[in-house]
């Protein structure tokens, strides 16, 4: 982690801590005024703002694994946002200025959580490298006679950081090449090459196997020649 990344993460964490504390106080005051027991009032802010964190992390996990975010995660995030905004605004004096100021901590907390939890997406280029192009041809049988580029014929020479495409698709292509060369990558190794977890790597392998069976047959064709 470089200095810029560390500084931005630390700043976002500080904002989340300050905003979370302010939001906690607002929700606590509303719960006490509503007649809740003090112990309940102390725990209620954690259950509300905690839903936001849980929902956000669950949605990110699903997206990184190539899955559609689960509905329960969407509901948790949405309910948490509505509840924390309502509680923060309810804690303010009955003026527009006071209500807008009271809403700031909740909104700041939401944004800070998003910044801390998410990472930027890799830019998708309009061209594909020679390694990926050769791989597609060898697997799909479009031009089986054309040899692969000698400089990138080995899977260990392919650097995922240099492949300007979606990381999931790049990982699946890399796994297919490893199968074609007789040295299939494991989920842990595939995840490590792309800076992801072992589970992420296994998910890409599973998705790849649904499209390209390990016996090499694709739509009636074999990667090395006609069926």
3-state SS class at 99: helix
pLDDT attached to residue 120 = 65
pLDDT attached to residue 126 = 40
pLDDT attached to residue 150 = 39
The series of mean pLDDT values per 10 residues for the chain, 227 residues long, is 80 86 90 91 90 88 85 90 90 89 86 76 50 47 40 47 68 86 86 86 83 48 45
Whether the Cβ atoms of residue 109 and residue 51 lie closer than 8 Å to each other: no
Answer whether 0.85 is exceeded by the pTM.
Answer: no
* C-alpha span between 222 and 219 (Å, rounded): 8
* Each residue's pLDDT tens digit, 64-95: 888 888 899 899 889 988 999 998 999 888 89
Which two three-digit tokens encode residue 115? 């910044």
pLDDT attached to residue 121 = 65
Instruction: Kindly report the length of the chain.
Output: 227
Whether the Cβ atoms of residue 80 and residue 48 lie closer than 8 Å to each other: yes
pLDDT attached to residue 4 = 81
pLDDT attached to residue 31 = 92
* Each residue's pLDDT tens digit, 94-114: 899 988 998 888 888 888 887
pLDDT attached to residue 223 = 45
Whether the Cβ atoms of residue 194 and residue 160 lie closer than 8 Å to each other: yes
pLDDT attached to residue 32 = 92
pLDDT attached to residue 61 = 87
Distance (Å) of CA 69 to CA 52, 62, 91, 132, 191: 14, 5, 33, 29, 20
Domain boundaries, the chain: 3-117, 130-226
């Amino acid at each position: 982690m470089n200095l810029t990344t560390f500084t931005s993460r630390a700043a976002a964490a500080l904002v989340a801590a300050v905003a979370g504390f302010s939001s906690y106080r607002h929700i606590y005051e509303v719960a006490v005024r509503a007649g809740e027991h003090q112990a309940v009032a102390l725990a209620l802010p954690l259950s509300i703002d905690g839903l936001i964190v849980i929902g956000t992390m669950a949605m990110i996990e699903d997206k990184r694994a190539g899955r559609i975010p689960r509905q329960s995660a969407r509901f948790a995030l949405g309910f948490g946002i509505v509840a924390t905004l309502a509680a923060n605004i309810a804690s303010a004096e009955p003026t527009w200025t006071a209500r807008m100021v009271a809403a700031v901590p909740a909104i700041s907390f939401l944004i800070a959580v998003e910044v801390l939890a998410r990472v930027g997406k890799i830019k998708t280029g309009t061209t594909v490298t020679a390694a990926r192009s050769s791989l597609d041809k060898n697997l799909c049988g479009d031009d089986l006679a054309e040899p692969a580029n000698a400089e990138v014929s080995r899977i260990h020479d392919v650097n995922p950081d240099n492949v300007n495409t979606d990381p999931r698709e790049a990982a699946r292509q890399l796994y297919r090449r490893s199968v074609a060369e007789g040295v299939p990558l494991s989920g842990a190794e595939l995840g490590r090459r792309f800076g992801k977890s072992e589970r992420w790597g296994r998910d890409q392998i599973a998705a790849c196997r649904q499209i390209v069976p390990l016996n090499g047959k694709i739509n009636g064709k074999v990667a090395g020649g006609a069926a």
